[in-house]
Structure 1
Amino acid sequence: MDPLEGEASVSIEYEPVNVKDVLVEMKDTAELLIDLSYSAVLHSSEEIAREVLRLEERMDVLEMRARMGLMMAVRNPDDAEQLAPVLGIVAAADDVSDAAGDIAKIVLEDIGLPEAMRAALPEAVETLVRGVVDPDSAYVDRTLAAIDLESETGVRVIALRRGDEWLLNPGPETAIRADDVALLRGPDVAIGDVCETMTGTTDEPPVTDTPGVEDLERAVDTIVHMKNLSELAVDLAYSAVLFDSEPLAEEVRNLEVEVDALESRFEAWTLRAAADAPDPIALRGLIHLGSATEVISDAAIDISEGVLREIDVHPVVQLAVEESDEIITRVEVDPSSDLDGTAIVGGVPNTESTMSVIAIRRPGDGWLLVGDADAEIRGDDVLISKGTRTAAAAFEELAAS
């Protein structure tokens, strides 16, 4: 039975929409779905998994509205050529949504998942929790700027659900209301107190055991790495489209190849682990997780396909660029550059640049996600970084000099 069975399907009729706004919302929704679905699994949270299914239903509505708007926009063959990749973006976002729903159902349908999954969470990883805002909370009817949670505690409100309405990426002027469903992300040391202040209840993290099967440890570590690479691939794919960047689209392809290779090893380790695991049936969820993760990686390729095929970006997508104050860039470090040998701590290089390095592709070594560890930049590294346009221009110049 569907975990949300009984809820009425949303009736959709054509109405004029701003396709640019719909595309931006689909992008934000897809990114949040990936985050929530894996958090539901890693924290064994049925409540977060149910929010995934609600968001999946919202994505279905967005997809239909985007398709209707794009069909109405086609007036000639040139429009059709430019809008075809946009339809691909819409379909790929829905693929991400469906994969996230499949991941959430691992928890909701009790498909089975080893405790090693939750033991795989690194100590430094931020925790995601869901809570309903208590009417007596000190946060009620105050804006996020007034509460200043992030500066005071490091905890961020990444989304709010108000009835059927979703507030994605809430800004400083967003006010918290009683009975809002809040999704919080932050360090373990602080998020419990914030959750208690907001909801009036204490969040109890699940108790986990350290896995005792070597192949299972490898499989779990691999699936976590696959998740991170797939998430990065989706982020890069949208950036490749929004900024019409063929180099970024090529990096999406490189990431997809890496995820495919990891999945092959992951399947082998999972099957070997089944021979020694006390309950092999509990590994079914890992297989589901691996398949869904590859779907997300493949969707990233579909998002950037138009760029790879050198089809001009439609103006509706270029308008969406204006919604982003931050951009993602790809730079290759010249061996004679001042960046060669520069340390990265907490994602930030030890330079005057304000760019944040989120990933490194190192020839011969593959991908290093900088969020997982500190690193040192080397000549010939390909750096994937995030920051303002001004900072990006200065960083590219630094990498080349």
Structure 2
Amino acid sequence: MKRTINRPMMEREYQPVSFKDVLIEMKDVSELMVDLSYSAILFDNKEIALEVINLEESMNKLVYQARIQSVLGARRLEEAEAMSGMLQVAEAAERIANSASDIAMLILKDIKFPAKLKRVFPEAEEVVTRVIVSQGSELAGHTLGELKVQSTTGMQVIAIRRGRGWIYDPDKTTRLETGDILISRGPEAGADILSTIAGAVECPSYEPSPAGAVDDLDRAVQLIIEMKNLSELSVGLAYTSLLFNNKEIADEVVALDKTLDNMRYDMDLWVLEAARKIDDVRYLRGLLYMSSFAQAISDSAHSIVDVLLRDIEIPPVFKKIVRESDEIITRIPVAEPSPLIGRTLKEASLGTVTGMVVLAIKHGDRWVYRPGKGARLQSGDIIIAKGRRDGECRLYELAGYTVEEPEE
């Protein structure tokens, strides 16, 4: 769903809409807000930060709609219990959105971030990149749907700067033009591919103040990147656990939340110690806020799986919510004729070939969460991945199945 910055203020009035559609939109908006908030930090961009704040208005309206629908939709005790579980998922999405808005507000308040943090952002498992569509590029003049950017490069375009305006969350009908600046997220290898087909014109970077280039921050910024990776993994696994009614995966989300809690304690202690050695402590404040952001996302994921762990009935509509959102989650067994058998994730290049992010792999009775590039696939393995629907079709084909690829 394409969004622009010229959005009127939302009035709090009830409009008939299905609970399913409300939750789909809440999931999509909260995920977009997280992506844009990280982009605002990386590029020190107040316009992107303002869009995150604007999206919070949309989320507030959706929360109102969700609460009304939950009341109207329950007529019996069993229905009320199931509806309470869905409302808990909706509230978790709201908390993620609120946390993203808080991070965006830091940019608007000129809170400082260390230069090293911005330099190591590309080391995250999903990077955020910015590239210009150059004259003669194969991207110019085509829509995102025609190009199938995410399923061919692994990169999802989350925003486009065109002249002085912005297009946020562009959809398949958005046509790219020469001079467009694309803000995208995905695997590092995919960023290189997108840069090449865009014409390999580098966009001028926003260089942070030299005062931010303090020493001895390596441990802290690496910890922040790890917290970012784990928090995003926990949300993907949380939706997966409910989608497939899998308590093993739910338990992993709980374990990840505890890990992030411990990492937050380590971060707080380190910052207190580092403050004595750094002249301008303002550049440490951003790290504290970012660790809190990652922890808030993880806490929200924990809240999602709490529905499953407390044996609250998960209505069939939840599967439609996950399957009809912008970013779907899929579970695919590796069949015997698959070319993936015996290859590592790095050799298969699933991220760039399909645009799907592998969250977990099940080998026999053992789950491997957040598998590394060296993880080797075998016949019968079950792959849990997230991405776009056409990317899912490509992954099915690679896993040894014959499918018809839908339009993007």
TM-score range normalised by the length of the shorter chain? 0.7 to 0.9
Letter in 1 for 2:215: V
Using a 3 Å threshold, how does the CA distance of structure 1 residues 113 and 316 change in structure 2: closer, same or farther?
A: same
Letter in 2 for 1:327: I
Q: How does 1:112-151 map to 2 (within 5 A)?
A: 112-122=112-122, 126-129=127-130, 142-147=142-147, 149=149
Does the 8 Å CA contact 2:159/2:183 hold for their aligned counterparts? yes
Distance in 2 between residues matched to 1:192 and 1:340, nearest whole Å:
30
Does the 8 Å CA contact 2:95/2:300 hold for their aligned counterparts? yes
Using a 3 Å threshold, how does the CA distance of structure 1 residues 217 and 102 change in structure 2: closer, same or farther?
A: same
Establish whether residue 316 from structure 1 lines up as the match of residue 317 from structure 2.
Answer: yes
SS of 2:11's equivalent in the other structure is: coil
RCO (CA 8 Å, sep 6+): is it higher in 1 or 2? 2
Using a 3 Å threshold, how does the CA distance of structure 1 residues 329 and 271 change in structure 2: closer, same or farther?
A: farther
Establish whether residue 207 from structure 1 lines up as the match of residue 203 from structure 2.
Answer: no
Unaligned ranges ≥5, structure 2: 1-6, 334-339, 387-391, 401-408
In structure 2, the residue matched to 1:281 is: 282
Establish whether residue 327 from structure 1 lines up as the match of residue 329 from structure 2.
Answer: yes
Distance in 2 between residues matched to 1:238 and 1:151, nearest whole Å:
22
Distance in 2 between residues matched to 1:284 and 1:361, nearest whole Å:
40
Deviations 1:181-211 (A, max 9, x none): 97434655566688899xxx97312336795
Offset of residue 92 of structure 1? 0.9
Distance in 2 between residues matched to 1:50 and 1:346, nearest whole Å:
40
Offset of residue 280 of structure 1? 1.2
Establish whether residue 84 from structure 1 lines up as the match of residue 75 from structure 2.
Answer: no
Using a 3 Å threshold, how does the CA distance of structure 1 residues 391 and 356 change in structure 2: closer, same or farther?
A: farther
In structure 2, the residue matched to 1:244 is: 245
Offset of residue 146 of structure 1? 3.4
Q: TM-score, normalised by structure 1?
A: 0.73
SS of 1:184's equivalent in the other structure is: strand
Using a 3 Å threshold, how does the CA distance of structure 1 residues 27 and 160 change in structure 2: closer, same or farther?
A: farther
Offset of residue 42 of structure 1? 2.5
Distance in 2 between residues matched to 1:368 and 1:82, nearest whole Å:
28
Letter in 2 for 1:312: E
Q: CA RMSD of the aligned region, Å?
A: 4.6
Distance in 1 between residues matched to 2:83 and 2:396, nearest whole Å:
32
In structure 1, the residue matched to 2:225 is: 224
Distance in 2 between residues matched to 1:262 and 1:347, nearest whole Å:
32
Query: Which stretch has the larger CA shift, 83-92 or 271-280?
Result: 271-280
Q: How does 1:234-383 map to 2 (within 5 A)?
A: 234-323=235-324, 326-329=328-331, 343-345=344-346, 357-358=358-359, 369-370=370-371, 374-376=373-375
Does the 8 Å CA contact 1:34/1:231 hold for their aligned counterparts? no
Task: State how many pairs are aligned.
Answer: 362
Letter in 2 for 1:92: A
Give structure 1 regions of 4+ aligned residues with deviation exceeding 6 angstroms. Answer: 137-141, 151-154, 177-182, 192-197, 339-342
Distance in 2 between residues matched to 1:256 and 1:204, nearest whole Å:
37
Distance in 1 between residues matched to 2:257 and 2:221, nearest whole Å:
19
Unaligned ranges ≥5, structure 1: 1-6, 332-338, 396-401
In structure 2, the residue matched to 1:56 is: 56
Distance in 1 between residues matched to 2:68 and 2:396, nearest whole Å:
38
In structure 2, the residue matched to 1:385 is: 384
Does the 8 Å CA contact 2:360/2:383 hold for their aligned counterparts? yes
Letter in 2 for 1:275: R
SS of 1:213's equivalent in the other structure is: coil
